[in-house]
């Protein structure tokens, strides 16, 4: 398992945890559970985690495929600079966020899942991984090869006008198509 | 439309049947728990939470039974082999085993979510009933305890829901197996599976915990139903007279008992089959036999599938492996450390276990009169073996060989990948010319990653008889094939045949080819028909 980027799996796990926290929170609030305040917190925490984890990081090796529509999230997450870039911060953040979820049965699963995601992020951070935004690449125009010379200054030599004019009786052998129909010279 | 039915009809039918069974089970159990008299008092405590929890549970039983079956490779090979006489369409279904496995997995995930949410609500309501938050009947029902003359209905012993969940068998196993399921699902996402196969493989083994927990999940028997008492407890009369239970003749104290756990009955069969499957693979690892498709493992814990490039008629077996990750690179390192051309008893070769054979789609090549084989990059390996095999069969005039024409398309990004396969094609080309059988095999090679330097090179060597890259008589094409033209050509040259199209390559190409097969097939059975088969690992 030498080459794995743990952050990829941590990201999937954290996104799933966010959704589970959100679902558990909704059940807790809708069912008016005792301790529904924890459920309300879980809804907010779930939404926050989902938004943070939705943009996938660029892989250090290989092609990175972003999730559908992740560009605006990428921009938001990128705006926080080193805070979101560093996986130690994410690991501790997730560990802290998940704790209140443990106080209500409906959200305890989300709490444990987020805790596991936090552990995987810790492993990723220890191995030196960090979050890189996937940004659309602007195609760099190839520099013009040196053999290209400046365009010619003079028009190419042409035969005299009498020969250039397209002849009515010889349309097939004409060198070009005339947009205006050719009529005989009177 | 007719083409779609011919190509996908059986798959669609199986899906519809599977979905139909799921819906039937859901509705049946929902109504059984929603309307059954024996659950009247249970429903009073739980209202619709009871049927909403039990119906997905039944669907889960069914799907957990199904999920292990598509991954019993040896069993599928056995079935495939015994269907040799029967139609190709039946055998094609077996190639879609992984798709079915994933579909069943999604259904399990969905039903787990519904089941869990329903039970979360149930636990909360049971807890509230226990604390007397609801009407009198609920309170009295909840107060029934397990004594000589009474039996409990409400399993919650007045704890907070979290403690109740973790102290009951059902709650504890439920949380553990749901956690296992979530880990399995997140590590099975496409991006993890394609790029970090080991994580996917090892994490998927959490299914052992999943099934173990699942079997014991119902052991606590906490879903209670009312039992017959003598004299009978008249529910409609007694439900409003809960104070007088035990004193009125029509209302003896109601007795309850938990349902017998049934999950093990559903899953024990497939679990046993899968256990046999793994034992068989392990036994084969200890033996040495020759196969068509093998699974190799240099470490005791990892298994990887590869396709063999040697034909069954040869007395050795060979594989071509592309370095694409940890395991393959380690293998290459080990091999490179061996001295060049090493032979004989004094050289210490790495020990490899092989398991197989596993039949794959490509075995059907021999049954079609005309075959189109499309291999992308390393995906050409199954066809290397098949081309060699067909050639041996052709030379020996094997009567079982129905193939009389093969079109072979090899798509590759870089030229250096041609080297090892070009030898085979050169040999075949030479032998075919010697026997005057040039028509048998038509092959086209496509270099999809060409650039300016290639074209310059080709322009300079345009007049040479053999191709500059492969040394073959057939010139290499540049860019991707224009499939419309290719299919049109095949159709024109074979106006009345059944053409089998076999692909080993990326999913995008599979979609394209499948569409073309449908487009160019004629519903008229006398005309050309294209059948699409995809090989994957």
DSSP states of B59-81 as a string? HHHHHHHHHTGGG-HHHHHHHHH
Taking an 8 Å cut-off on Cβ atoms, the answer to whether B162 and A12 are in contact is: no
Is residue A99 scored above 90 in pLDDT? yes
Taking an 8 Å cut-off on Cβ atoms, the answer to whether B199 and A1 are in contact is: yes
* B214 closest CA partner among B267, B163, B256, B259: B267
Which are the contacts of A173, defined by CB distance < 8 A and separation ≥ 6? Answer: none
Residue range(s) defining the domain that contains residue B181:
2-228+252-275
pLDDT at A1: 44
Q: Which helix (H) or strand (E) holds B326?
A: helix B326-337
| CA gap B40, B93 in Å, rounded | 45
pLDDT at B294: 45
| CA gap B333, B323 in Å, rounded | 10
**Residue A24 token pair:** 């558990």
Q: Is B415 exposed, middle or buried (0-12, 13-18, 19+ CB in 10 A)?
A: middle
The secondary structure of residue B261, as a DSSP letter, is: P
Q: Number of Cβ pairs closer than 8 Å across A and B?
A: 78
pLDDT at A61: 79
Determine how β-strand B498-504 pairs with β-strand B370-376: parallel
Q: Please tell me which residue of chain A has the smallest CA distance to B171.
A: A105
Which are the contacts of B512, defined by CB distance < 8 A and separation ≥ 6? Answer: B483
Residues of chain A neighbouring B326 (CB-CB closer than 8 A): 1-3
**Residue B34 token pair:** 């929603």
B178 touches chain A (CB under 8 A): yes
CB of B503 within 8 A of CB of B510? yes
Residues of chain A neighbouring B113 (CB-CB closer than 8 A): 23
| In B227-384, beta strands by DSSP E | 256-258, 293-297, 304-307, 353-355, 370-376
Taking an 8 Å cut-off on Cβ atoms, the answer to whether A109 and B179 are in contact is: yes
Of A159 and A81, the one with more pLDDT: A81
ipTM: 0.75
CB of A56 within 8 A of CB of A11? yes
Q: Is residue B323 part of a domain?
A: no
pLDDT in tens, B227-264: 888 778 888 888 888 788 888 888 888 888 888 888 99
| CA gap A112, A107 in Å, rounded | 9
Q: Is residue B329 part of a domain?
A: no
> How close is the nearest chain B Cα to the Cα of A13, in Å?
6
Q: Is residue B418 part of a domain?
A: yes
A29 touches chain B (CB under 8 A): no
Q: Please tell me which residue of chain A has the smallest CA distance to B123.
A: A105
CB of B72 within 8 A of CB of B273? yes
Please tell me whether residues B269 and B410 are part of one structural domain.
no
pLDDT at B21: 97
Of B120, B179, B192, the CB nearest to A12: B192
Residues of chain B neighbouring A108 (CB-CB closer than 8 A): 162, 165, 175
CB of B257 within 8 A of CB of B225? yes
Q: Is residue B309 part of a domain?
A: no
Q: Please tell me which residue of chain A has the smallest CA distance to B330.
A: A2
| Residue of A9, A25, A61 to mutate when probing chain B, most B C-beta within 10 A | A9
R_g of chain A computed on alpha carbons: 32
Instruction: Provide the β-strand partners of residue B399.
Output: none
pLDDT at B321: 66
User: B354: helix, coil or strand?
Assistant: strand
User: A5: helix, coil or strand?
Assistant: coil
pLDDT tens track of chain B, all 537 residues?
Answer: 666 776 677 888 899 999 999 999 999 999 999 998 889 888 888 888 999 999 999 999 999 999 999 988 888 878 777 765 556 666 666 667 888 999 999 999 999 999 999 999 999 998 888 888 888 888 888 888 877 777 888 888 777 888 888 889 999 999 999 999 999 999 998 888 877 888 888 899 999 999 999 999 998 888 888 888 877 888 888 888 878 888 888 888 888 888 888 899 999 999 999 999 988 888 876 664 433 444 444 444 444 556 666 666 666 666 666 666 666 777 777 777 766 655 555 555 555 655 555 545 556 777 788 888 888 877 777 777 777 777 777 777 766 667 788 888 888 877 666 566 777 777 777 777 777 666 777 888 887 776 667 677 767 766 666 666 666 666 677 788 888 888 888 888 888 888 888 888 888 888 888 888 888 887 676 777 888 877 654
Please tell me whether residues B263 and B366 are part of one structural domain.
no
User: A31: helix, coil or strand?
Assistant: coil
Give the torsion through C-alpha atoms of B407, B408, B413, B415, to 10 deg.
-120
**Residue A64 token pair:** 């990175």
Q: Is residue B339 part of a domain?
A: no
Distances from the Cα of A154 to the Cα of A148, A163, B202, angstroms:
17, 20, 72
CATH of the domain at B381: 3.40.50.80
Q: Is residue B371 part of a domain?
A: yes
| In A11-161, beta strands by DSSP E | none
Q: Please tell me which residue of chain B has the smallest CA distance to A16.
A: B186
pLDDT at B366: 73
Residues of chain A neighbouring B192 (CB-CB closer than 8 A): 8-9, 12
Q: Is residue B489 part of a domain?
A: yes
Distances from the Cα of B537 to the Cα of A164, B71, B90, B379, B413, angstroms:
67, 12, 20, 10, 21
Residue reference for tokens 């040896």: B74
**Residue B232 token pair:** 């009978």
pLDDT at A52: 93
Question: Prior bond to B385 cis, omega within 30?
Answer: no
* A23 closest CA partner among B115, B207, B191, B58: B115
The secondary structure of residue A86, as a DSSP letter, is: B
| CA gap B110, B98 in Å, rounded | 18
Domain count for chain B: 2
Q: Please tell me which residue of chain A has the smallest CA distance to B163.
A: A105
Q: Is residue B291 part of a domain?
A: no
Residues of chain A neighbouring B299 (CB-CB closer than 8 A): none
| Residue of B116, B133, B167, B182 to mutate when probing chain A, most A C-beta within 10 A | B182
pLDDT band (50, 70, 90) for residue A172: low
**Residue B484 token pair:** 């419309």
Helices (H), B246-325: 263-286
| CA gap B336, B71 in Å, rounded | 34
Please tell me whether residues B270 and B369 are part of one structural domain.
no
* B380 closest CA partner among B410, B413, B418: B410
Q: Average the pLDDT over each of A13-17, A54-58, B211-215 and give the range with the smallest value.
A: A54-58
B93 touches chain A (CB under 8 A): no
| CA gap B85, B91 in Å, rounded | 10
pLDDT at B475: 64
pLDDT at B413: 77
* B218 closest CA partner among B277, B177, B255: B177
> How close is the nearest chain A Cα to the Cα of B124, in Å?
7
% of chain A exceeding 90 in pLDDT = 45
Residues of chain B neighbouring A106 (CB-CB closer than 8 A): 120
């Amino acid at each position: 398992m030498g080459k794995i980027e743990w952050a990829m799996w941590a990201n999937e796990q954290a996104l799933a945890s966010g959704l589970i926290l959100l679902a558990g929170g909704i059940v807790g609030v809708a069912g008016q559970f005792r301790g529904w305040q924890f459920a309300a917190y879980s809804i907010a925490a779930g939404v926050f985690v989902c938004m943070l984890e939705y943009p996938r990081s660029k892989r250090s090796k290989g092609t990175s495929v972003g999730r559908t529509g992740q560009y605006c999230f990428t921009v938001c997450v990128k705006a926080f600079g080193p805070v979101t870039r560093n996986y130690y911060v994410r690991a501790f953040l997730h560990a802290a966020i998940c704790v209140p979820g443990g106080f209500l049965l409906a959200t305890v699963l989300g709490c444990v899942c987020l805790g596991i995601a936090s552990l995987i992020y810790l492993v990723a951070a220890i191995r030196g991984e960090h979050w890189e935004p996937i940004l659309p690449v602007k195609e760099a125009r190839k520099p013009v090869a040196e053999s290209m010379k400046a365009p010619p200054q003079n028009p190419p030599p042409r035969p005299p006008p009498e020969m250039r004019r397209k002849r009515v009786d010889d349309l097939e052998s004409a060198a070009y198509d005339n947009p205006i129909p050719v009529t005989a010279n009177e | 439309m007719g083409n779609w039915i011919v190509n996908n009809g059986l798959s669609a039918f199986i899906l519809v049947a599977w979905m139909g069974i799921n819906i039937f089970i859901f509705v049946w159990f929902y109504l059984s728990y929603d309307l059954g008299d024996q659950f009247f008092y249970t429903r009073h405590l739980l209202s619709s939470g009871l049927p909403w929890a039990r119906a997905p549970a039944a669907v889960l039983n069914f799907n957990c039974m199904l999920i292990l079956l598509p991954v019993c490779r040896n069993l599928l090979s056995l079935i495939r082999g015994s269907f040799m006489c029967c139609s190709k369409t039946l055998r094609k279904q077996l190639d879609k085993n992984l798709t079915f496995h994933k579909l069943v997995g999604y259904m399990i995930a969905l039903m787990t979510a519904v089941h869990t949410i329903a039970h979360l609500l149930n636990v909360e309501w049971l807890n509230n009933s226990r604390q007397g938050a609801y009407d009198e009947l609920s309170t009295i029902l909840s107060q029934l305890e397990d004594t000589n003359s009474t039996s409990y209905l409400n399993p919650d012993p007045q704890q907070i829901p979290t403690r109740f969940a973790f102290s009951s068998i059902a709650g504890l196993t439920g949380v553990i197996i749901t956690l296992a399921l979530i880990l399995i699902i997140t590590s099975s996402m496409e991006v993890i599976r394609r790029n970090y196969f080991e994580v996917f493989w090892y994490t998927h083994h959490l299914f052992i915990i999943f099934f173990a927990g699942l079997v014991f999940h119902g052991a606590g028997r906490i879903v209670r139903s009312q039992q017959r008492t003598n004299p009978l407890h008249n529910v409609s009369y007694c439900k409003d007279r809960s104070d007088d239970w035990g004193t009125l003749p029509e209302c003896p104290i109601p007795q309850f008992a938990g349902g017998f756990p049934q999950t093990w009955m559903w899953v024990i069969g497939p679990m046993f089959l899968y256990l046999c499957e793994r034992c068989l693979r392990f036994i084969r690892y200890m033996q040495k036999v020759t196969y068509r498709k093998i699974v190799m493992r240099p470490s005791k814990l990892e298994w990887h599938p590869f396709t063999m490039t040697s034909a069954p008629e040869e007395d050795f077996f060979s594989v071509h492996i592309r370095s694409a990750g940890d395991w393959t690179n380690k293998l290459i390192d080990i091999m490179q450390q061996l001295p060049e051309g090493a032979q004989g008893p004094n050289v210490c070769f790495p020990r490899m276990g092989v398991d197989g054979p596993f039949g794959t789609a490509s075995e059907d090549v021999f049954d079609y009169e005309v075959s189109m084989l499309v291999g992308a990059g390393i995906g050409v390996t199954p066809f290397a073996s098949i081309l060699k095999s067909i050639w041996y069969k052709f030379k020996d005039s094997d009567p079982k060989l129905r193939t009389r024409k093969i079109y072979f398309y090899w798509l590759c990004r870089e030229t250096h990948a041609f080297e090892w396969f070009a030898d085979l094609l050169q040999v075949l080309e030479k032998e075919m010319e010697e026997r005057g059988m040039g028509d048998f095999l038509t092959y086209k090679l496509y270099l999809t990653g060409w650039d300016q330097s290639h074209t310059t090179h080709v322009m300079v060597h345009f007049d040479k008889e053999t191709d500059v890259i492969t040394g073959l008589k057939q010139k290499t094409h540049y860019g991707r094939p224009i499939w419309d033209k290719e299919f049109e050509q095949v159709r024109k040259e074979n106006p009345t045949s059944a053409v089998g199209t076999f692909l080993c390559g990326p999913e995008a190409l599979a979609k394209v080819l499948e569409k073309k097969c449908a487009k160019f097939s004629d519903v008229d059975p006398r005309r050309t028909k294209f059948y699409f088969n995809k090989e994957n690992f």
